[in-house]
Homo-oligomer: A and B are copies of this chain.
Amino acid sequence: MENEQVTKRLSALRKAMEENKVDYYMITSADCHGSEYVHKHFRARAYFSGFTGSNGTLLVGKKSAALWTDGRYFLQAEEQLAGTGIELMRMEEKGVPEIEEYLQVKLQKGEFLGFDGDCVSAEQGKRLEKICEEKGAAVSFERDLADIAWEYRPARPANPVWELSEEYAGESCGDKLKEVRCILEKEGMDYLFLSSLDDIMWLFNLRGADIACNPVALSYAFVGRDECTLFLQKKAAQGLSLERFGVTIEEYDKVFDWISQKLNKVRGKKVTSPGGYLSHRMRKLLSGKSELILRESPTELLKAIKNETELSCSREAYLKDSAALCKFIYWLKNHVGKEEITEISAADKLEEFRRQISGFLDISFATICGYADNGAIVHYSATEETDRRLTKKGMVLVDSGGQYMGGTTDVTRTIVLGEVSEEEKRIFSLVSAAMLRLAEASFPEGATGRNLDILAREELWKAHLDYRHGTGHGIGYILNVHEGPQRISWQYRKEAKEYALRAGMLISDEPGMYFAGKFGVRTENILEVVKEEENEYGTFLGFRHLTLVPIDKEALDKRFLTSEDAERINRYHKLVREKVLPLLEQEEKEWLLEATKEL
């Protein structure tokens, strides 16, 4: 069945392409800042393709169109692209070309590849220019054709910007600027140009609300050795006290003009900027006016290593957030089958529990609440059409988190609602044991996520199973739920520098298994990297659990666990009991005691 809405929108886009002499038009998932999640103003790819996942690139030709997305979204994209005529390109599957390889084959001499230069990264833009050059084609990046073809495009957000007090930030903007300048000096750089929003928020101790669930504000920053300019939408940024740190605030939209004028005077100076967040258009501007060096921003690592204030606030926030999830699980298990509960209403109820926590600001991402086979869709987001009623059978996968004055949380539990099959128990046991096994690792300084990942996958791989996503990501502090530079993943990625884990980093630990049409399991804790001991063999690090929520014993089965696995589960449950019990009501307490009993 044809998807009329999408085909109509694609026609409008193709008309704009024809008028602008563009043969292929590429629409990414990005905003002007390389954000992972974007405001709906920037959701052109979802508008023109119908695919709403967080990662995807649409390439529209004169007659054909294709969409690239990763393993988390294969099932969802299949469903959403049905009837659109858009071909699904399953990234990293054998025989599936990357978009750049695809263009290398398809582009003909004299053709034009168009995209909005604001919404394509400097790195990708560079590669695309090279491909076009090799093929005798050309890039056209100045016009946002999606904007022309997009009816009723939502307005750009401009929500209030506020300052995070040092009581929560743990370090002043002035001290952070000092650290950054120290690194600039060491590396012989004159300016750092930042367009990644969470880095800017972290550096200036600001928070905003321009992206749902992500407390960031549209902004750019230019940090020099002894001057600093921050670009914000002034109407949304009143009464900030950054002048005391020598920070000048300029209007957000003036950044291009400002750079043109400013850099004209300092031509030849070295500007560094992280190429993954910088837009293609910005790169063209900066590299024409200065010596632009694309490399990781020093702010990414500084931000990732939480200070003592951030750590103690986070521990507290995770404890309260864990208690809220415990309350929810208790409520769910006691109400399912007795009243109407759906995936959406369950997620709402969980949000209600979180709202009761003092300091609650928002949820940290759209809750994934997938019942039964919806649990197999890795980044499932229930819609009115898919919303399913929860019954006393099988399991529901709930991946959720909150933004608090005190931290950003992220946790997944797969919750048993009634009878579960042997296979569900086996997989649930394997996945949960995998999570705890990684969490109990010790490792010397210098070890990276590529070294550690197998601890989560070992038993799954032995069963010749695997999950198609990474095992762990960094997490922000009252900021984005995903941040770098550390991650836990076994695969080599040529574009990503590998970072060693460092004491003070937070990282998720979230193995899973997904069986399309059947069920899905994921168990996710957030871990703090802690220093254990320094001895003649090196400095040994380990993990501390921030997440303290029982792993559902109703699906844990000793037959599928080693004795060490069972001990690890008992140890973890003892910790949960000790920490969370005081935060619960009487009936909840009784449930927790049962839920954390020794296996």
Contact = CB atoms under 8 A, between A and B. Distances in A.
Interface of A: 440-444, 446-448, 450-455, 458, 461-462, 464-466, 490-492, 498, 532-533, 535, 537-538, 540, 562-564
A137 B461 CA distance: 54
Contacts of A465: 537
Contacts of A450: 450-451
Q: Is the interface of A mostly helix, strand, loop or mixed?
A: mixed
Contacts of A492: 448, 498
Given A454-B455, A492-B448, A492-B498, A464 B533 contact: yes
Given A466-B537, A563-B563, A564-B562, A458 B455 contact: yes
B458 A444 contact: no
A279 to B, nearest CB: 30
A464 B451 contact: no
B490 A461 contact: no
A532 B464 contact: yes
Return the 8 tightest CB-CB contacts between A and B, nearest first: A466-B537, A442-B461, A451-B490, A442-B462, A464-B540, A563-B563, A464-B533, A562-B564
A178 to B, nearest CB: 26
B448 A451 contact: no
A439 B300 CA distance: 38
A394 B203 CA distance: 59
Nearest to A532: B464
B442 A538 contact: no
Contact of A466 (B444, B451, B455): B444
A465 B538 CA distance: 9
A540 B461 contact: yes
Most buried by B among A452, A458, A532: A458
A592 B400 CA distance: 57
A458 B446 contact: no
A464 B535 contact: yes
A455 B451 CA distance: 10
Contacts of A440: 462
A428 to B, nearest CB: 18
A464 B445 CA distance: 12
A466 B492 CA distance: 25
Contacts of A461: 441-444, 540
Contacts of A533: 464
Contacts of A458: 441, 455
A568 to B, nearest CB: 11
Contacts of A451: 450-451, 453-454, 490
Contacts of A535: 464
A492 B452 CA distance: 13
A533 B440 CA distance: 30
A387 B517 CA distance: 68
B490 A464 contact: no
Contacts of A491: 446
Contacts of A453: 451
Nearest to A490: B451
Contacts of A454: 441, 443, 447, 451-452, 454-455
A596 to B, nearest CB: 23
Nearest to A437: B458
A134 to B, nearest CB: 15
A374 to B, nearest CB: 20
Given A443-B454, A563-B563, 4 more contacts: A446-B491, A461-B540, A464-B535, A465-B537
A537 B455 contact: no
A450 B447 CA distance: 10
A464 B447 contact: no
Nearest to A538: B466
14 contacts: A441-B458, A441-B461, A442-B462, A442-B464, A444-B461, A446-B491, A447-B490, A450-B450, A450-B451, A454-B454, A466-B537, A466-B538, A562-B563, A563-B563
Nearest to A489: B451
Nearest to A467: B537
A285 to B, nearest CB: 33
A257 to B, nearest CB: 40
A465 B443 CA distance: 10
A451 B533 CA distance: 24
A430 to B, nearest CB: 13
Contacts of A446: 491
A471 to B, nearest CB: 12
A443 B459 CA distance: 10
Nearest to A440: B462
Contacts of A452: 454
Contacts of A448: 492
